[in-house]
Amino acid sequence: MVETEQVTAIFQDAWTLYADALAEMGRGKLRNAAEKAWGATKRATDALVLARTGEGPRTAGQTNRDLLRLGRQDQRVQELVGPYFIRAGFLHGQCFYDGMCEPVEAVEDAIRETTNYIQHAQELAAEV
């Protein structure tokens, strides 16, 4: 599969995970929804890294490092750094792993706002 097809496939996966997050939230499964939204964030970031560097990250740590490095090179990518790490800590760590999904409204907002993150990452990936 060529690189642009891989980027497209990873973004499609991010959108699928986001749709799953909304469905889980609709069923009242906030903890599962938070993890799906985090997964969507991570996949969108992986796609952006692949588009910008030509190499997809193999680990979460590599995704973190690559996003930070790309953010230092491009202010528009830097705008994703804060939301990425907030989602990692809040949705993935606090809500999913620790089971502390409160305040509920804040978790729901973070899940819904994942669409903005994916769209921004996709726009930046398309600029390459």
Q: What's the pLDDT tens digit per position in 62-99?
A: 999 999 999 999 999 999 999 999 999 999 999 999 99
Q: Is the pLDDT of residue 25 over 60?
A: yes
pLDDT score, position 2: 53
pLDDT score, position 3: 80
Q: Is the pLDDT of residue 27 over 80?
A: yes
Token digits of residue 1: 């599969």
Q: Is the pLDDT of residue 128 over 90?
A: no
Amino acid at 28: G
pLDDT score, position 1: 42
Q: Which parts of the chain fold into alpha helices (H)?
A: 3-26, 30-53, 60-73, 75-87, 104-112, 114-126
Q: Torsion-angle region of residue 28: left (phi > 0), alpha (psi -120 to 50) or beta? A: left
Predicted TM-score of the model (pTM): 0.95
Higher confidence at residue 32 or residue 1? 32
pLDDT score, position 119: 98
Residue 42: partners with Cβ closer than 8 Å, 6 or more residues away: 60, 63, 88
